[in-house]
Amino acid sequence: MTDLQGKTGLIVGVANKRSIAWAIAQAAAEAGARLAITYQGERLEENVRELAATLVNPLILPCDVTDDAQIAHLYEAIDGEFGGLDFLVHGAAFAPREELSGPFVQTSREGFRLSLDISAYSLVALARGALPLMERRGGGSILTLTYLGSQRVFDNYNVMGVAKAALEACVRYLAADLGPKGIRVNAISAGPIKTLAASGISGFSAILQHYRDRAPLHRTVETAEVADAAMFLLGPAGRAVTAEILMVDGGYHATGM
């Protein structure tokens, strides 16, 4: 197992026990890291607090990733408690349901703005806040979550695919910007998993079956498998890896017809 003893990390994007971010949080805690975990609004607070109670001495904080003041308060609290930060996991993503169900050409200006703000720009904002805390530790690792819809057209993915494409570009630019400071920035592109976010995609069950039929491994992936890949990128084994989009999708991305 990856050794994260003595390390501290921030996990953003836990919604419930099926969240990929939660699987990563569990793996990081088992590897010895102490974690700060955020929740988005009162609706998700109870879920996050109940899950975090199973970890050792976590720091639980609110964070609306569209609010710069709240992000600043988040890092002030982490600084006061941890005195620095070793890694950040960004799992925030959102698009209004109505933007996923109609033709992409009908995407509203506000829906586009909100989707890109929460799903892509938030990585930039969180990385900027983490920078001084990671510099204090001599470097760090930032990890986000993406999907193949950034490169290919998937039914009912629409503006979220555009947001994930922007997110992957942010990974590359942040990696170039922060590399000289010893901070690595990567993404995992996971296969489809039944998460809260996936529930908003019409026909998701058909997508899962298509992966089972077409992926070289002839199955979908599990959150624990994504978490194992995350441990590689967050830990010392991935110390020379940055600006990478690591595919964890059973090989589906390599297939043609």
Domain-located, residue 209:
yes
Lowest mean pLDDT among 26-30, 134-138, 196-200: 196-200
Return the SS3 of 12.
strand
Q: Are strands 140-146 and 183-190 parallel, antiparallel or unpaired?
A: parallel
Domain-located, residue 76:
yes
Question: Which of 186, 166, 179 is CA-nearest to residue 232?
Answer: 186
Known active-site residue 173: no
Enclosing domain of residue 46:
8-248
In the structure, what pLDDT confidence band is assigned to residue 202 with cuts at 50, 70 and 90?
Answer: low
Domain-located, residue 75:
yes
What tokens were used for 218?
A: 């002839």
In the structure, what pLDDT confidence band is assigned to residue 204 with cuts at 50, 70 and 90?
Answer: confident
Q: How much is the average pLDDT of 60-88?
A: 98
Question: Which of 185, 175, 150 is CA-nearest to residue 165?
Answer: 150
Q: How far apart are the first and last CA of the chain?
A: 37
Output the domain CATH number for residue 225: 3.40.50.720
Domain-located, residue 204:
yes
Domain-located, residue 256:
no
Angle at 187 between CA 59 and CA 209, to 5 degrees: 105
- Does the structure show a pLDDT above 80 at 173? yes
Distances from the Cα of 25 to the Cα of 22, 29, 149, angstroms:
5, 6, 25
Helix (H) or strand (E) holding 101: helix 97-101
Domain-located, residue 257:
no
User: Out of 121, 157, 211, 252, which one is annotated catalytic?
Assistant: 157
In the structure, what pLDDT confidence band is assigned to residue 1 with cuts at 50, 70 and 90?
Answer: low
User: Out of 39, 121, 147, 211, which one is annotated catalytic?
Assistant: 147
| pTM, rounded to two decimals | 0.95
Q: Which pLDDT belongs to residue 199? A: 59
Q: How many domains does the chain have?
A: 1
Domain-located, residue 79:
yes
Q: pLDDT tens for residues 78-103?
A: 999 999 999 999 999 999 999 998 99
Torsions phi, psi for 243 (to 5 deg): 65, 25
Query: For residues 245 and 257, which has the higher predicted lDDT (pLDDT)?
Result: 245
Domain-located, residue 253:
no
Q: pLDDT tens for residues 214-231?
A: 999 999 999 999 999 999
Known active-site residue 75: no
Question: Which of 153, 100, 98, 147 is CA-nearest to residue 120?
Answer: 147
